[in-house]
Copies of this chain bind each other. A is one copy, B any other.
């Protein structure tokens, strides 16, 4: 597994910096965020390490699908139960536990963690944070898939990786999880108003409604004129980094 890591200058002197994990979207590798989001400057200012894992296992011996939204590049941050995926596609465990253990042993020596992501990675960030009370200090997402059980990308991936038992899907659905959250960590979403996937795959109003029903104050910023791209992410990266820094540093 490859990952991108940004170490602010202060992290080279003392290994005590907090860590922001970033989960990328469909088709991305560990490189997209690193080269396009412009996060390093803000991470340097706040003294935050940023870690950007790949979106799936990779390699010739790893199962794949010809579709861009299943298999390599599309791990969906679940622990797969069905074949041929079950052996390698354990991205939930990887991003929530295995990778943090490595980072905290080698680079950070800090358990101050936050998590963020884009699209499929926004889904991953919300799920990982909501399922692990106390483990993360804050969570944010750009253009997240908030209800995979209710949209085509999510239904395809969850059926393939987990099978048809829709009860099992609930553990990977932020709209299902937000109502049962035992800890209400700060939660921020930014969503572009001109995002081509807004009404078909993302549907942030479902998260808003679930939050309101549960009395969980979820901040969702609709940004008119912005699309689904990394230009949108770069436009509001400073605000997301400041949001996490407030509780991390």
Contact = CB atoms under 8 A, between A and B. Distances in A.
Interface stretch (A80-88, A91-99, A106-114, A231-239): A231-239
B40 A41 contact: no
A35 interface: yes
A63 interface: no
B230 A41 contact: no
Q: Is the contact region of chain A dominated by helix, strand, or loop, or is it mixed?
A: helix
Contacts of A179: none
A40 to B, nearest CB: 7
A36 interface: yes
A197 B70 CA distance: 42
A235 B40 contact: yes
A12 to B, nearest CB: 10
Contacts of A41: 38, 234-235, 238
A36 B40 CA distance: 12
Interface residues of A, number: 10
In the complex this chain forms, how many copies of it are found? 2
A235 B43 CA distance: 12
Interface string A28-66: 000000011010110000000000000000000000000
Contacts of A40: 231, 234-235
Nearest to A6: B231
Contacts of A38: 38, 41, 234
Interface in A94-151: none
A38 B234 CA distance: 7
A235 B41 CA distance: 6
A8 to B, nearest CB: 12
Interface string A206-249: 00000000000000000000000011001100100000000000
Contacts of A231: 40
A48 to B, nearest CB: 16
A5 B38 CA distance: 18
Nearest to A230: B35
A46 B163 CA distance: 52
Interface of A: 35-36, 38, 40-41, 230-231, 234-235, 238
13 contacts: A35-B35, A35-B36, A35-B230, A36-B36, A38-B38, A38-B41, A38-B234, A40-B231, A40-B234, A40-B235, A41-B234, A41-B235, A41-B238
Given A35-B35, A41-B238, 5 more contacts: A38-B38, A38-B234, A40-B231, A40-B235, A41-B234
